[in-house]
Amino acid sequence: AFIKSLIKFRFDNQKFLSLNFENFSTLKNVEIKDRFLKINLHDFIVIFNSNDKEITTDLDTGKYKILIDTSDGKNNLKDSLVLLKSFSAVVLKKQD
């Protein structure tokens, strides 16, 4: 089973995903460093949705930028930008 995390994010200047997020402590394996949010994809599944401009959930506060931990251990979003720049996404948290 999966639980939707309470986030809203969108592409910003086609370089990073901008994201509004309030209570980071509710999620495991999420790290904030220098205003970047890092999500470990071993513990989260990202589902991209091209039908909506953005997906908005309950929390709507300060902006952060996102770095995604890929399976090879690198923090690299650039390789995905061409495919994803017009997409929105939902992050689902694995239920313990």
pLDDT in tens, 5-21: 434 444 444 334 444 44
Render pLDDT for 21-44 as a digit per residue (tens, 0 to 9): 444 444 444 454 444 445 444 444
Residue 61 per-residue DSSP state: -
Band of pLDDT at residue 1, cut at 50, 70 and 90:
very low
pTM of the entire predicted model: 0.24
pLDDT, tens digit (0-9, with 9 covering 90-100), for 78-90: 333 323 333 334 4
Question: What was the pLDDT predicted at 62?
Answer: 34
C-alpha 45/C-alpha 92 separation (Å) is 5
| Residue 19 · residue 9 · CB < 8 Å | yes
